[in-house]
Amino acid sequence: MVYILEYAKSDRSNCNGAKDLCPSRDRTIGKGDIRLGVEVAQFHGVIYRHWTCATPTVIENMKKSAGSVENIVGFDKLREEDQERVRRAWDLGEIPENERPEPYVQKEEDEEEEATAADNNRDNEDHDDDNQQKNGKESKPVKEEHGKENHGR
Ligand SMILES: [Zn+2]
Protein backbone atom coordinates (compact mmCIF):
# COMPACT_ATOMS: atom_id res chain seq x y z
CA MET A 1 0.00 0.00 0.00
CA VAL A 2 1.14 3.48 -0.75
CA TYR A 3 0.63 6.22 1.79
CA ILE A 4 0.41 9.83 0.81
CA LEU A 5 0.52 12.92 2.96
CA GLU A 6 -0.69 16.18 1.55
CA TYR A 7 -2.75 19.26 2.19
CA ALA A 8 -6.30 18.78 1.03
CA LYS A 9 -6.66 20.64 -2.21
CA SER A 10 -10.36 21.18 -1.76
CA ASP A 11 -12.92 20.57 0.94
CA ARG A 12 -14.59 17.88 -1.07
CA SER A 13 -12.77 14.83 0.23
CA ASN A 14 -14.21 12.72 3.00
CA CYS A 15 -12.49 11.21 5.99
CA ASN A 16 -12.59 7.43 6.16
CA GLY A 17 -11.08 7.29 9.59
CA ALA A 18 -12.85 5.98 12.65
CA LYS A 19 -16.01 7.89 13.31
CA ASP A 20 -15.31 8.18 17.02
CA LEU A 21 -12.07 9.98 16.32
CA CYS A 22 -13.15 12.32 13.59
CA PRO A 23 -13.66 15.97 14.51
CA SER A 24 -15.85 16.61 11.51
CA ARG A 25 -19.60 16.18 11.75
CA ASP A 26 -20.07 15.31 8.09
CA ARG A 27 -16.64 13.71 7.74
CA THR A 28 -15.33 16.29 5.31
CA ILE A 29 -11.68 17.15 5.26
CA GLY A 30 -11.26 20.89 5.14
CA LYS A 31 -9.19 22.48 2.43
CA GLY A 32 -5.64 22.80 3.65
CA ASP A 33 -5.94 20.14 6.35
CA ILE A 34 -3.27 17.50 6.32
CA ARG A 35 -4.83 14.39 4.92
CA LEU A 36 -3.46 10.90 4.75
CA GLY A 37 -4.22 9.06 1.58
CA VAL A 38 -3.98 5.33 1.14
CA GLU A 39 -3.82 4.00 -2.33
CA VAL A 40 -6.04 0.96 -2.44
CA ALA A 41 -5.48 -1.24 -5.44
CA GLN A 42 -8.90 -2.88 -5.35
CA PHE A 43 -10.61 0.48 -5.62
CA HIS A 44 -8.17 1.95 -8.08
CA GLY A 45 -8.25 5.03 -5.98
CA VAL A 46 -7.09 6.77 -2.88
CA ILE A 47 -8.90 6.70 0.43
CA TYR A 48 -8.38 9.72 2.62
CA ARG A 49 -8.60 10.52 6.26
CA HIS A 50 -7.58 13.45 8.40
CA TRP A 51 -4.01 12.96 9.42
CA THR A 52 -5.19 13.35 13.00
CA CYS A 53 -7.65 10.49 12.43
CA ALA A 54 -4.79 8.05 11.88
CA THR A 55 -4.94 5.33 14.52
CA PRO A 56 -1.88 3.59 15.97
CA THR A 57 -2.70 0.69 13.68
CA VAL A 58 -2.58 2.93 10.65
CA ILE A 59 0.74 4.38 11.72
CA GLU A 60 2.04 0.88 12.34
CA ASN A 61 1.03 -0.10 8.82
CA MET A 62 2.65 3.02 7.43
CA LYS A 63 5.86 2.05 9.16
CA LYS A 64 5.76 -1.42 7.72
CA SER A 65 5.04 -0.10 4.28
CA ALA A 66 7.26 2.98 4.07
CA GLY A 67 10.02 2.03 6.49
CA SER A 68 10.92 5.58 7.35
CA VAL A 69 8.85 8.70 7.54
CA GLU A 70 10.79 10.37 4.74
CA ASN A 71 9.62 7.68 2.37
CA ILE A 72 5.98 8.64 2.65
CA VAL A 73 4.86 10.18 -0.57
CA GLY A 74 4.43 13.91 -0.15
CA PHE A 75 6.16 14.13 3.21
CA ASP A 76 8.92 16.31 1.80
CA LYS A 77 6.36 18.74 0.47
CA LEU A 78 4.79 19.41 3.85
CA ARG A 79 5.73 22.56 5.69
CA GLU A 80 8.56 22.05 8.10
CA GLU A 81 6.42 22.34 11.21
CA ASP A 82 4.00 19.79 9.81
CA GLN A 83 6.84 17.44 9.02
CA GLU A 84 7.79 17.72 12.67
CA ARG A 85 4.25 16.90 13.74
CA VAL A 86 4.18 13.84 11.53
CA ARG A 87 7.59 12.79 12.74
CA ARG A 88 6.49 13.06 16.36
CA ALA A 89 3.47 10.87 15.73
CA TRP A 90 5.63 8.45 13.80
CA ASP A 91 8.10 8.11 16.66
CA LEU A 92 5.36 7.91 19.25
CA GLY A 93 3.31 5.40 17.26
CA GLU A 94 0.20 7.52 17.56
CA ILE A 95 -1.00 11.07 17.14
CA PRO A 96 0.14 12.90 20.28
CA GLU A 97 -2.78 13.45 22.59
CA ASN A 98 -2.47 17.20 22.55
CA GLU A 99 -2.74 17.23 18.78
CA ARG A 100 -5.86 15.14 18.56
CA PRO A 101 -8.89 17.25 17.87
CA GLU A 102 -11.98 16.64 19.92
CA PRO A 103 -14.07 14.06 18.09
CA TYR A 104 -17.45 15.24 17.01
CA VAL A 105 -19.23 12.11 18.33
CA GLN A 106 -17.68 12.54 21.72
CA LYS A 107 -19.17 15.99 22.05
CA GLU A 108 -22.64 14.62 21.39
CA GLU A 109 -22.23 11.84 23.92
CA ASP A 110 -20.99 14.18 26.59
CA GLU A 111 -24.05 16.31 26.25
CA GLU A 112 -26.33 13.29 26.55
CA GLU A 113 -24.50 12.04 29.59
CA GLU A 114 -24.89 15.31 31.36
CA ALA A 115 -28.60 15.41 30.65
CA THR A 116 -29.06 11.89 31.99
CA ALA A 117 -27.12 12.62 35.13
CA ALA A 118 -29.24 15.67 35.79
CA ASP A 119 -32.43 13.65 35.41
CA ASN A 120 -31.21 11.00 37.79
CA ASN A 121 -30.39 13.53 40.43
CA ARG A 122 -33.81 15.02 40.21
CA ASP A 123 -35.59 11.67 40.48
CA ASN A 124 -33.43 10.18 43.14
CA GLU A 125 -35.27 11.50 46.16
CA ASP A 126 -38.90 10.76 45.63
CA HIS A 127 -39.46 7.93 43.20
CA ASP A 128 -38.10 5.67 40.61
CA ASP A 129 -41.08 3.54 39.70
CA ASP A 130 -39.46 0.91 37.55
CA ASN A 131 -36.70 0.09 39.92
CA GLN A 132 -38.88 -0.05 42.98
CA GLN A 133 -41.31 -2.44 41.41
CA LYS A 134 -38.63 -4.79 40.25
CA ASN A 135 -36.33 -4.77 43.19
CA GLY A 136 -38.31 -3.56 46.12
CA LYS A 137 -35.23 -1.81 47.29
CA GLU A 138 -33.19 1.13 46.39
CA SER A 139 -31.18 0.65 43.26
CA LYS A 140 -28.66 3.04 42.06
CA PRO A 141 -29.38 4.63 38.72
CA VAL A 142 -25.69 4.88 38.03
CA LYS A 143 -25.00 2.31 35.37
CA GLU A 144 -21.40 2.95 34.63
CA GLU A 145 -18.55 4.84 36.05
CA HIS A 146 -17.15 7.54 33.91
CA GLY A 147 -15.00 5.35 31.76
CA LYS A 148 -14.14 8.04 29.34
CA GLU A 149 -13.22 11.16 31.10
CA ASN A 150 -11.56 12.87 28.27
CA HIS A 151 -11.03 16.34 29.36
CA GLY A 152 -9.77 17.58 26.09
CA ARG A 153 -6.77 19.73 26.39
ZN1 LIG B 1 -11.44 12.50 10.27
Q: What does the pLDDT look like over 42-77, one tens digit per residue?
A: 878 899 999 999 999 999 999 999 999 999 999 999
Cα of 53 from ligand 1 centre, angstroms = 5
Cα of 22 from ligand 1 centre, angstroms = 4
What pLDDT does 131 receive? 47
What pLDDT does 47 receive? 94
What pLDDT does 112 receive? 58
What pLDDT does 142 receive? 56
Cα of 153 from ligand 1 centre, angstroms = 18
Q: What does the pLDDT look like over 91-142, one tens digit per residue?
A: 999 999 999 999 998 555 555 555 555 555 555 555 555 544 444 455 556 5
The 3-class SS string of the chain reads CEEEEEECCCCCCECCCCCCCCCCCCCECCCCCEEEEEEEHHHCEEEEEEHHHCCHHHHHHHHHHHCCHHHCECHHHCCHHHHHHHHHHHHHCCCCHHHCCCCHHHHHHHHHHHHHHHHHHHHHCCCCHHHHHHHCCCCCCCCCCCCCCCCCC
What pLDDT does 103 receive? 92
Cα of 4 from ligand 1 centre, angstroms = 15
**Stronger pLDDT, 11 or 144, i.e. the higher one:** 11
The pTM of this model reads 0.68
What pLDDT does 129 receive? 53
Cα of 127 from ligand 1 centre, angstroms = 43
Cα of 68 from ligand 1 centre, angstroms = 24
Segment 17-29 shows an average pLDDT of 93
Segment 26-47 shows an average pLDDT of 92
Cα of 116 from ligand 1 centre, angstroms = 28
Cα of 92 from ligand 1 centre, angstroms = 20
Q: Which domains does the chain have, with CATH numbers?
A: 2-99 (3.30.1740.10)
Segment 10-28 shows an average pLDDT of 93
What pLDDT does 120 receive? 54
Cα of 100 from ligand 1 centre, angstroms = 10
Cα of 106 from ligand 1 centre, angstroms = 13
